[in-house]
Each structure stands twice: as C-alpha cells, then as structure tokens.
Homo-oligomer: A and B are copies of this chain.
C-alpha cells in the first residue's frame, strides 16, 4: 500500500483547499471524508464572503478575512481554468439595510469602520435600493452598499475544488470515518485507522469542522457545533445579484432566481435538524425585509453545524507533540477563509515562518 505525504481529515472546503495547495507544492496528498459524498457545513453555508460583517475587531483575524476576500477572485479564476467548469462568484457587494434606529446605528458603525479600513462603503438612496431590490419593505430608512462583501455558490465551488484537487493528483476517499490516530516512533509519522483501512502519513491536516474535537487519541480541540438554519426561496426576480443584511440575518442570491435566508446561531449539539422557532425566525426576517413575498416559493430548509471555538477564532497551527496541523474552528467564516487558510497550511507545512499566535491551537492546548 502506498502512503501519502499528507493525509487531510475532512473533505469540506478547508480540507480540499489545503489538499490542493499542498499538491501544488509537490506533495502527495490524500483526503478522507466521513460522508459518502460531499461535506457538512461547507455545503450548508450561504456563501457570503463578508470580511467585516460579523462584528470583527482589528487584529490578525480581520487581516486574514480581508486577505482571503482578496484571494477569492484569483482563486475562482484558477479553479475554473484548472477544471473547465464555472463557479457562480459574484462581486456585487452587500447591502446593509436599516429599518429602525438600532439598525441605523449599526449601519453608521459599519460605514465608519469600513472607511477606516479603506474599504468602499457608500450610502445607497432608497429609490436605487428599490430599483435593485423591488421587494424591499417601505420601512427601509437607509441602506449602505459594501462593495467588498462578495458571495459564492459554495456548493458549486466545493464540487469544482474537489475536481481541481483530483486533477492535481489528490485522492479523495469518501465514506471513510476515522476511528483513531496513532503516533509512530521513531518514524515521527502518524497512522490513521479507519474501519477497514489505515493510512500512514508524515503530516496530518485536521480539517474536520465541528467534528474536529472528536478524533480519538488526538488532544481534544475545543471545537463545538454551532447550528445554523437556512431556507431557500425560489423564483425571486431582482436585478440585485449580491446579498443583503439586516440585524443578525442575511439574504443571499443563489443561482438564477434563488434567495437564501440565513442563518440562526444555536447551541444544539450535533443535532442538525431544523426547528419550528428557527424557521419562524427566518420567515419573520424575510417578511420584515420583503413584506410582499408571501407567495414566493419556499424551496427547502436545512441546517448545518459550524465549527465554533471558545473565542470564535479559528484553530490554525500545529498540535503539540503530534505531526498534525489543525485547520478548523472557522465558525461563520469557513467559506471566506478557505483560500487564505490553504496558503497558511502550506506555509506551516513547509515551516516557512511562525504560527499566528492568536489563531494557534496552542492557546487552548498549553497544558499538553
């Protein structure tokens, strides 16, 4: 049996992006994914690429978000070229809509901090808003257009990314749950055991999302599932192709006439169901922003589990004592951070400089 240089645990956007990047650098890479096909949160996400939407304060994490946002355009172009496929990646930006005083204060904060960062942020007059989003509520008081918040069809992207990785020689093993991992001495390798298989590698990349803390024998990373419920509307004919935000929810275009409404943020363990109150909240948001949309098709509902961490920041770096790089805990920013994370994983795998202390798993594993 041949063994790869690197084994990636997790076939979501982070694992696939890292696998492709490492293969580009000349390593033999294999990916193992628990599911029979696809991935978890990477497919459940709405695909907003918002580097400053989630009340992120200045620091290395914000820098990473903005850097990754800037990588997205070239990354998509490269993936399209590598595969001959296309990805619905849109740079229209997002519209922050204010319906009340609280929203207006939030909108002013967003405007100010975007401008401080040198990001483009412009007031949009209500008639223009109504042109772009004909269903917008008459209650809309103000709107701000954030040019630098993009969006991607993450389902398409993951399929294209998997193909791109495979074209570079990456093997993806679906339906392959990891049962435990083992350090091998004196080789310094890691042996990964599945039900009917085992694989040895010089390096393991742990990109198992909300499941990253559950790999037996590895020091348990403090990653927990944070549920997000989403619903998809269909038949929405607007000129606007980007996204909208108000309060804690957003509306993101998907495909030709789709509109994703998301997302709840819930502590519900590994329960991936929708709930009565989750869908109620999403529908209430929908009606607040688009009151006349009652007869619009509700295509489907779903939920996903984001990998949350105690400080809401990713876990990116080595696990002490193990030949393992963690690339997980991206919480609400996994899609956004994928291209940047892939580069970071490659940089750390080739020992090109230090970890970013604020993101290093060592901040939680200091005792080990």
Which residues of A are in contact with B by a Cβ distance under 8 Å? 233-234, 271, 273-280, 283, 286-287, 293-301
Contact = CB atoms under 8 A, between A and B. Distances in A.
Interface centre among A274, A276, A280, A296 (most CB of B within 10 A): A276
A351 B49 CA distance: 70
A298 B283 contact: no
Contacts of A287: 276, 280
Nearest to A277: B294
A297 B302 CA distance: 11
Interface centre among A234, A278, A298, A300 (most CB of B within 10 A): A298
A276 B294 contact: yes
Contacts of A280: 283, 287, 294
B301 A275 contact: no
Q: Which 8 residue pairs across A and B have the least CB separation, nearest first? A: A277-B294, A273-B297, A274-B298, A276-B294, A276-B296, A275-B295, A279-B298, A276-B298
Contact of A295 (B277, B283, B294, B296): B277
A157 to B, nearest CB: 26
A277 B291 CA distance: 11
Contacts of A297: 271, 273-275
A271 B277 CA distance: 27
A298 B300 CA distance: 11
Contacts of A279: 279, 283, 298
B286 A298 contact: no
